[in-house]
């Protein structure tokens, strides 16, 4: 069901420092920062030959990554995103297998303008998993 690894998301407390690290120290191609008000984050994408790194920085008081960054003061891996061909078929298969989908269970539009879902970390080896329809 799952296809390529679309991205690994890393939450950061200092976006400028993270951009400098990936662009200048690691020599990667880094996008501009984009505010995602619907998701309460600012995103920067780091393009690698085989996948992307999504740098996440909190946006607003209700940011869903605020608590994570309070616990992980140096930042940390927040979620991983797998590609799926049909997000509704993926959701229905996961629900039939007893897996938990976060939120309403209806796909939302993600940072790339494509439908996404988040899966409960307790059902996936302690890892927050995002599915994105490609």
Please report how close the Cβ of residue 97 comes to Co ion at its closest, in angstroms.
22
Q: How far apart are CA 32 and CA 26, in angstroms?
A: 17
- Closest alpha carbon to 104 in 91, 93, 122, 113: 91
Q: Pick between residue 33 and residue 98 the one whose CB is nearest to Co ion.
A: 33
- CA dist 38 and 60 (Å) reads 11
Q: How far is the CB of 54 from Co ion (least distance, A)?
A: 5
Q: Are 24 and 91 in contact (CB under 8 A)?
A: no
CB of 115 to Co ion, least distance (A): 13
For residue 25, report the phi and psi dihedrals to the nearest 5 degrees.
Answer: -80, -45
Binding residues for Co ion (CB under 5 A): 9, 54, 81, 130
Count, residues in the chain: 134
In the complex with Co ion, which residue's Cβ is closer, 9 or 11?
9
Annotated catalytic residue 85: no
- Of 54 and 107, the one with the shorter C-beta distance to Co ion is 54
Give the active site residue among 35, 54, 85, 130: 130
- Which residue numbers are catalytic? 130
């Amino acid at each position: 069901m799952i296809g390529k690894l679309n991205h690994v998301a890393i939450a950061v407390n200092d976006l400028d420092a993270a951009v400098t690290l990936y662009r200048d120290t690691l020599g990667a191609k880094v996008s501009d920062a984009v505010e995602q008000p619907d998701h309460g984050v600012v995103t920067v994408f780091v393009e690698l030959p085989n996948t992307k790194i999504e740098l996440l920085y909190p946006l607003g008081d209700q940011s869903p990554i605020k608590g994570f960054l309070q616990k992980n003061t140096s930042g940390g891996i927040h979620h991983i995103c797998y590609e799926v061909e049909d997000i509704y078929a993926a959701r229905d298969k996961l629900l039939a297998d007893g897996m938990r989908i976060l939120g309403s269970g209806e796909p939302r539009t993600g940072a790339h303008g494509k439908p996404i879902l988040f899966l409960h970390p307790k059902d996936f080896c302690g890892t927050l998993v995002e599915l994105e329809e490609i």
